[in-house]
Amino acid sequence: MADQCPFCSIASGSSSASMVYEDNNVLAFMDLNPISVGHVLIVSREHWENLYEVPEETLGELIAVVKRVAIAVKKTVGADGIKIIQNNGRCAGQVVMHIHFHVVPCFSQKGTKRYGRVMENRNVLDEMAQKIRKNL
């Protein structure tokens, strides 16, 4: 566990998150500042900074959960498409230095589902996480 890492804090239980999925090696939870409704993050339980460092076995487990969560999110929010984002390094847009994949729903008719980053209410995120869990 890395000091001051927000995802290690969630993995250890010292910070809370709207949890969608967890097992021994992988966690999935709602992004606090969603790009769109249903935006989920998939992270390794162990602290690896980025794609270059994460062991291939862990990467395989992460991507398997990305697939499952993507299908469940698409169904839950009625998305027309799903974007998978994985940033490595600050110039790529990585802010949290703990490997993670973004599952971001996309909608054909922009405006029908809120776009743009806003700090989402935790109750709203908890409800969304519960709905996604049911579709996993």
Q: Please choose, from the candidates 89, 100, 3, the residue with its C-alpha nearest in 3D space to the C-alpha of residue 48.
A: 100
Of these partners, ligand 5GP, Zn ion, none, which one is at the site of residue 94 (CB under 5 to 8 Å by kind)? ligand 5GP
2 binds ligand 5GP (CB under 6 A): no
98 binds Zn ion (CB under 5 A): yes
Are 45 and 39 spatial neighbours (Cβ–Cβ below 8 Å)? no
- Please list the alpha-helical segments (H only) found in 33-121: 56-77
- The contact pattern for ligand 5GP, residues 18-47, with x = CB under 6 A and - = no contact, is -----------xxxxx-------x------
**Choice between 110 and 117, CB closer to ligand 5GP:** 117
- Please list the alpha-helical segments (H only) found in 16-121: 56-77
